[in-house]
Homo-oligomer: A and B are copies of this chain.
Amino acid sequence: MNAPDAVPPSASRLPAELRAELSALLGDRFTLSASVRTQHGKDESYHPSVPPDGVAFARSTEEVAAIVKACARHHVPVIPFGTGTSLEGHVAALRGGVTIDLSQMNRILAVHEGDLDVQIEAGVTRKQLNAHLRDLGLFFPIDPGADASLGGMAATRASGTNAVRYGTMRENVLGLTVVLSDGSVIRTGGRARKSAAGYDLTRVFVGSEGTLGVITEVTLRLYGIPQAISAAVTPFPTIEAAVNTVIETIQSGIPVARIELLDEVQLDAVNRYAKLDYAVQPTLFFEFHGTEAGVAEQVEMVKAIASGHGGGEFRWATQAEDRNKLWQARHNAYYAALALRPGAKGMATDVCVPISRLADCVSETKRDIEENGVLAPIVGHVGDGNFHLTCIFDPADRAETAKIEALNGRLVRRALAMGGTCTGEHGVGYGKIDFVEAEHGPAVEAMRRLKRAFDPDNIMNPGKILRI
């Protein structure tokens, strides 16, 4: 769908001189293998693989710089690759070129406990980081579900379940090391908590999806593991009741750490997939962080709000093990949805609206799904006004595919009409490239100026975010 401006992969398209240079630089860490190329042309979405012409496994910023410099000399595209867990075709090599796999750049460079920050290489994954931090009593909260690389999470401005309390990658990246399109290396930001010293280059690159440069190192804010953590699951009679509970909780300023919605279709899928026995109703998953007394107070306030909207019993998970099970069930929502129809694919799409419009947007979308007979469970980071559909379909079936595409288009237009955005967290890739124009209007031309300033030859992940 959204048929990419693609060319067939062909290793021989890479200039022989470039192949020789990259082989000399990387040895067998530069490969033309078809299977490696195919794997690197594909993310976790329904978008088909568009393999690059070669894959380079980098081990340092200097190597990335050398690779980009070589590619730039030959006007060959460069596509950064972390874990391949993106959802809008971000890693597809639409115009061929060399994919730079950063997964071997996985060193944790420096933890500054006293300053609550950490410097890492871009290939470190969030689970790896949190495993490293646990004994220090620290954690990094941003959790998009997948065990994504933190470089990739920065590049896509990821967020996820904890964003309602801790913000997104936008708020939690203090600085970056970036290889620019000419192979030069810059460091943006710094370790001070705030700075007014010049343009905010860090946030120019956060969310730029590899189209302005390759992120090779990241400095992140950390947080102390809260004294008390408690999680609960609560069913509601209707999806409106659940969403109105969310809206009232947010408007009351209660600092919930997570507040997730699963509609009854998604809940049923999760039950089947994980062999759980939650009531098959629209359901909220909550998590509370704070001191013992603070968590108790938050819980009382939220229980009162939920009960006012007809919410059922809170099923608690206070032990770490039980909480992990609960959140694993939530994180597996996508796979659980896929399992509803074996062999089918899922189109995971997300929008985000101002919280006051969330009930309208979710209800209208649910009606739209039902009226069109689509299988599309709803799940959302609703505290931010962000929700997802996983449309289950067979990409080989043209009529069904068209129906899904139309549903997605109506979802985005509905969100935009409500003052929202075409993607709260998945990013644009090439799957949502047309919607960026609809959302930003004349500002897209300003985005093009930015793109041209940093990538005048359009070799950095071309065909993503903007039509150039």
Contacts and interface: CB of A to CB of B under 8 A. Distances in A.
A112 B354 contact: yes
Given A199-B204, A201-B446, A443-B188, A424 B194 contact: yes
A355 interface: yes
Interface in A173-215: 180, 184-188, 190-201, 203-204, 206-208, 212
Nearest to A169: B196
Nearest to A437: B198
Contacts of A439: 190, 197-198
Interface stretch (A34-42, A55-63, A231-239, A425-433): A425-433
A247 to B, nearest CB: 7
28 contacts: A112-B356, A116-B355, A156-B196, A157-B194, A163-B194, A190-B419, A191-B354, A192-B354, A192-B420, A193-B386, A195-B424, A196-B421, A196-B427, A196-B428, A197-B421, A197-B432, A197-B436, A197-B439, A197-B440, A198-B439, A199-B207, A199-B208, A200-B207, A201-B443, A204-B204, A294-B294, A446-B454, A449-B454
Contacts of A444: 198
Interface string A397-436: 0000000000000000001000111111111100010011
A466 interface: yes
A170 interface: yes
Contacts of A216: none
A225 B205 CA distance: 34
A251 interface: yes
Contacts of A198: 207, 428, 436, 439-440, 444, 447, 465-466
A291 interface: yes
A170 B194 contact: yes
Nearest to A251: B114
A157 B453 CA distance: 23
Contacts of A121: none
Given A156-B196, A247-B114, A424-B194, A450 B447 contact: no
Counting chain B CB atoms within 10 Å of each CB, which of A191, A204, A353 scores highest?
Answer: A191
Contacts of A171: 167, 171
A423 B196 contact: yes
A452 B453 contact: yes
Nearest to A193: B384
Contacts of A415: 192
B293 A197 contact: no
Interface in A275-295: 291, 293-294
B196 A424 contact: yes
